[in-house]
Amino acid sequence: MILSDLKILERMRDGRILVRPYRRDCLGSNSYDVHLGKYLAIYTDATLDARTPGAVREFRIPKEGFVLEPGQLYLGVTEEYTETHDCVPFLEGKSSVGRLGVDIHSTAGKGDVGFCNYWTLEMSVKLPVRIYAGMPIGQLIYFEVSGPVGSPYGKKRSAKYRTVSAHPTPSRMYLNFPNGGARRRTPR
């Protein structure tokens, strides 16, 4: 079941949902609007390897905006820090952003109970689009969980994105491999 605006407010009042900064006008009937943070990052290697950390170049979005180009993956970040302690947050793109051809996540729209951080966005576009820091970018929708949660995100040993950062976080898929993903060179 999706939480209504009044249920979201109730959970904010008792500390089960936190959005910082909070703006009342961003609360919709059943969602909360989030904004694009001031940093973007792009991977610097032409080919990414799931077993190794990908190098990125991070930059600040200039005041005059930045043009996203097709064929490039951009890592963005929300301006808002969020905490969700007893429901499942889903991040979806705003329809106005989608109508510009901007996708804000390729696969990772669902958060976990216990996720406490900024949201990294996996952004791509169909056509060149100028974007701006602070623009509305997505909306958080909260789903009620049925039953107690035995392993909230922040307490899971396998949680790879616990370090709080207002900067885009590159993939940490390499941590899923033995030895933290270190590739072994085979002797010749």
Instruction: Assess if residue 179 is contained within a domain.
Output: no
**CA–CA dist 15, 2 (Å, integer):** 18
Asked whether residue 79 is assigned to any structural domain, the reply reads yes
Which residues, 6 or more positions from 146, have their beta carbon under 8 angstroms from its beta carbon? none
Residue 168 to residue 115: CA distance in whole angstroms: 16
- Amino acid identity for residue 16 in this structure: R
Which residue out of 64, 69, 92, 122 is catalytically annotated?
122
Identify which of 33, 169, 7 has the alpha carbon closest to the alpha carbon of residue 87: 7
Q: What is the 3-state secondary structure (H, E, C) of 46-74?
A: CCCCCCCCCCEEEEECCCCCEEECCCCCE
Dihedral through CA 39, CA 169, CA 44, CA 54, nearest 10? Answer: 170
Whether residue 139 has pLDDT greater than 80: yes
Distance CA(76)–CA(100), nearest Å, equals 17
Residue 175 lies in a domain: no
Q: In this predicted structure, what is the pLDDT of residue 180?
A: 63
| 184 assigned to some structural domain | no
pTM confidence score: 0.90
- Is residue 113 scored above 60 in pLDDT? yes
Rounded to 10 degrees, the C-alpha dihedral 21/26/29/32 comes to -50
Looking at residue 186, its pLDDT comes to 44
Please compute the mean of the pLDDT values over residues 131-158 and round it to a whole number.
88
Residue 139's domain spans which residues?
Answer: 5-44+53-146+164-170
Residue 185 in any domain: the answer is no
Q: What is the pLDDT of residue 45?
A: 93
Residue 122 annotated among the catalytic residues of the structure:
yes
Choice between 2 and 149, residue whose per-residue pLDDT is larger:
2
In a domain, 35, yes or no: yes
Tens digits of per-residue pLDDT, 74-99?
999 999 999 999 999 999 999 999 99
Residue 102 lies in a domain: yes
What pLDDT is recorded for position 183? 59
CATH of the domain at 68: 2.70.40.10
Position with higher pLDDT, 171 vs 157? 171
Beta partners for residue 18, in sequence order: 83
The number of distinct structural domains making up the chain is 1
